[in-house]
Copies of this chain bind each other. A is one copy, B any other.
Amino acid sequence: MSAEYQRFSPRGTAAEIEEGLALAPKFDADGLVTAVVTDAGDGTVLMLAHMNADALALTIETGFAHYWSRSRKALWKKGETSGHLQRVTDLRIDCDQDAVWLAVEQTGDAACHTGRKSCFYRRIPLGRAPSPALEMELVDGERRFDPAAVYRRT
């Protein structure tokens, strides 16, 4: 807790949090903020991830995206395994400081573990109530890499 206060500002009043220029992130009950990641070139939303205090501090300090893997319960430098690093060109925080937005240059043009550029490769059709018969549309399903070759799960 004391380490947190050395790196970030304490949470203040709602006005201070929303209007101030001090970085006072609101980590949730699991110690995380949500991170939205977009392509610095064309604005595509690439992925959504989470950061704990260490991941946020490392991202700020190094300019390379670090996250907290909720499934593996581990700090994670994006691209550590796959080589697909994310260089951050712009980092912003939202009004209540519980979410960050990273614009990144994505090595290999593939942010998704399935090998695709973006995790958001399926479109939900609009205009009628959803049912199990609803069929989504594949959008840019092209794989930039073979996940089986990159992530050897032996």
Interfacial residues, chain A to chain B (CB-CB below 8 A):
5-10, 18-19, 21-23, 34, 36, 38, 42-45, 47-48, 56-57, 60-61, 63, 88, 90-95, 99-101, 112-114, 116, 119-132, 134-139
Knowing A99-B48, A122-B92, the reply to whether A130 touches B18 (Cβ < 8 A) is no
Q: How far is the CA of A85 from the CA of B47 in the complex (A)?
A: 25
| Shortest Cβ gap from A104 to chain B (Å) | 12
Contact, CB under 8 Å: B119 / A60: no
Q: Which residues of B lie under 8 Å from residue A10 when comparing CB positions? A: 132
Q: State which of B43, B48, B130 has its C-beta within 8 Å of the C-beta of A60.
A: B130
Contact, CB under 8 Å: A63 / B127: yes
Contact, CB under 8 Å: A120 / B92: yes
Contact, CB under 8 Å: A122 / B21: yes
Q: Which residues of B lie under 8 Å from residue A60 when comparing CB positions? A: 124-130, 134
Q: State which of B7, B38, B125, B128 has its C-beta within 8 Å of the C-beta of A45.
A: B38
Can you give 18 contacting A-B residue pairs, CB < 8 Å?
Answer: A6-B131, A6-B132, A7-B131, A9-B134, A19-B114, A21-B135, A43-B43, A48-B99, A60-B128, A60-B130, A60-B134, A61-B128, A91-B126, A92-B123, A92-B124, A92-B139, A93-B124, A93-B136
